[in-house]
């Protein structure tokens, strides 16, 4: 089976993890955690950062650090993974869903203002599938209404907006390092900001709000959101290879594009002139003119030993957040979007094989549907009609 995503691990990860194990510091203390925090924030062009247990806890910490809680509202895109809305809900605040922009598939700035109320405190743009959101427009709205901007850059390590790396474009940024991301620590996350107070506040809350001056003295309710030293060791090694990974992701996307650009009915992944996408996922849309549905293509791929994923369900359609709102762009994108195999380890032959199935699937499926029904399978046929 050709997987949708898988990590690329080398001898360097093994070397650093072995060093970590030999040191005996395998929990949240040890040299690799602060080293990873420093190197990753530096890579993103941000002054400060802390590592967390995953991307969701990074989002939760960011919201709590900014004082967001019961009675507040936070603007989020409906088309993204549910963790973005869940983190808001954990604080007691309410996620308010906004439709997608049809070209980049990200939060539509033109739809934000109509959802802002006196209770709105923040906007969380998500850089979906590795393509940056339109941050200038979002920041302008946030500034006009006095709102925080929390970047959800879980899928966009190294992506750029007008030459500036994502993670450096809001008040606080959050990343994920799960196994399908550009770099991984197995599970893990990070919170970045140029505001020293916010980062130190988040660091305190990450450690059950234990006083730094008085051991086991807790000034408030905090959380255990640490990354382990073992995970950070993997992260340091992965970070040394991040440029290689991004170059490979972009090369894979170019190859896919060259093989699929003439296939009727496909919309290939966006890359706006002001953006550098990292193609965390190679994502396409199947238009009506493609001839078969997204789910039919997924079945055809699976039969050929190729994994794939649908786009996220818009969150306003999911049971925890079900509403009667119509957010038509996101709903349309979700119905026709598919993520093809996107691992950095994909070979050219594997990409060609996947693209070949995508190109030929409509003809194969339609041809099979037109085959005449064998007489023995016709309604009312005798039980022994197919016997020799």
The C-alpha atoms of residue 172 and residue 59 are separated, in whole angstroms, by 9
Rg (CA), the chain: 23
pLDDT of residue 95: 98
Say if pTM beats, i.e. exceeds, 0.85: yes
Q: Say how far apart CA 68 and CA 64 lie, in whole Å.
A: 6
Annotated catalytic residue within 181, 249, 276, 336: 181
What are the residue ranges of CATH 3.90.1150.10 in the chain?
Answer: 243-367
Task: Provide the pLDDT for residue 363.
Answer: 86
Burial 202-221 (b: 16+ CB within 10 A, else e): bbbbbbbeeeeeeeeeeeee
Q: What pLDDT score does 25 carry?
A: 87
Q: What is the 3-state secondary structure (H, E, C) of 256-279?
A: HHHHHCCCCCEECCCCCCCEECCC
Rounded (5°) CA angle 271-181-67: 90
Tokens 């119509």, residue located: 326
Going by CATH, does the domain composed of 11-99+106-241 fall within 3.40.640.10? yes
181 is catalytic: yes
How far, in Å, are 94, 142, 234, 253 from residue 277 at the CA level?
A: 30, 24, 24, 10
Residue 245 · residue 183 · CB < 8 Å: yes
Would you identify the CATH topology of the domain 243-367?
3.90.1150
Residue 283 near residue 80 (C-beta atoms within 8 A): no
The single residue listed with the structure tokens 């060609």 is: 352
pLDDT along the chain (388 residues), means of 10: 95 96 90 97 98 98 98 98 98 98 98 98 98 98 98 98 98 97 97 98 95 91 96 98 98 98 97 98 97 96 97 98 94 98 97 97 73 60 50
Residues of CATH 3.40.640.10 domain(s) within the chain?
11-99+106-241
Identify any residues that bridge with 126 across adjacent strands, giving them in sequence order.
152
176 Cβ contact list (under 8 Å, min separation 6): 54, 55, 56, 58, 154, 155, 188, 189
């Amino acid at each position: 089976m050709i997987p949708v995503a898988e990590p690329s691990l080398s001898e360097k990860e093994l070397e650093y993890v072995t060093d970590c194990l030999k040191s005996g510091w395998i929990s949240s203390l040890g040299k690799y955690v602060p080293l990873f925090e420093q190197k990753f924030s530096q890579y993103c062009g941000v002054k400060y950062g802390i590592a967390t247990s995953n991307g969701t806890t990074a989002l939760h910490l960011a919201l709590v650090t900014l004082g967001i809680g019961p009675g507040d509202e936070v603007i989020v895109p409906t088309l993204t993974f549910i963790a973005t809305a869940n983190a808001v809900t954990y604080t007691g605040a309410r996620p308010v869903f906004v439709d997608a922009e049809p070209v980049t598939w990200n939060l539509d700035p033109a739809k934000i203002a109509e959802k802002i109320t006196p209770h709105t405190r923040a906007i969380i743009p998500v850089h979906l599938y590795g393509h940056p959101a339109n941050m200038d427009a979002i920041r302008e709205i946030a500034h006009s209404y006095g709102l925080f901007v929390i970047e959800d850059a879980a899928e966009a390590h190294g992506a750029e907006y007008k030459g500036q790396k994502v993670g450096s474009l809001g008040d606080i940024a959050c990343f994920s390092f799960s196994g399908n991301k550009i770099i991984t620590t197995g599970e893990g996350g990070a919170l970045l900001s140029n505001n020293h107070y916010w980062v130190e506040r988040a660091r305190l809350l990450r450690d059950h709000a234990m006083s730094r001056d008085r051991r086991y003295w807790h000034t408030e309710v905090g959380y255990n959101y640490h990354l382990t030293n073992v995970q950070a060791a993997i992260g340091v090694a992965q970070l040394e290879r991040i440029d290689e990974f991004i170059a490979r992701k972009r090369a894979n996307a170019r190859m896919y594009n060259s093989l699929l650009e003439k296939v009727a009915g496909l919309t290939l992944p966006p890359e706006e002139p002001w953006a550098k996408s990292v193609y965390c996922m190679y994502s396409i849309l199947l238009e009506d003119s493609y001839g078969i549905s997204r789910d039919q293509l997924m079945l055809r791929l699976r039969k050929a030993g190729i994994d794939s994923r649908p786009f996220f369900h818009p969150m306003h359609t999911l049971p925890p957040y079900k509403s009667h709102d119509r957010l038509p762009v996101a709903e349309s994108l979700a119905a026709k979007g598919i993520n093809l195999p996107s691992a950095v380890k994909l070979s050219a032959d594997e990409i060609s094989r996947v693209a070949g199935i995508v190109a030929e699937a409509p003809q194969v499926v339609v041809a099979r549907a037109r085959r005449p029904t064998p007489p023995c399978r016709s309604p009312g046929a005798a039980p022994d009609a197919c016997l020799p």
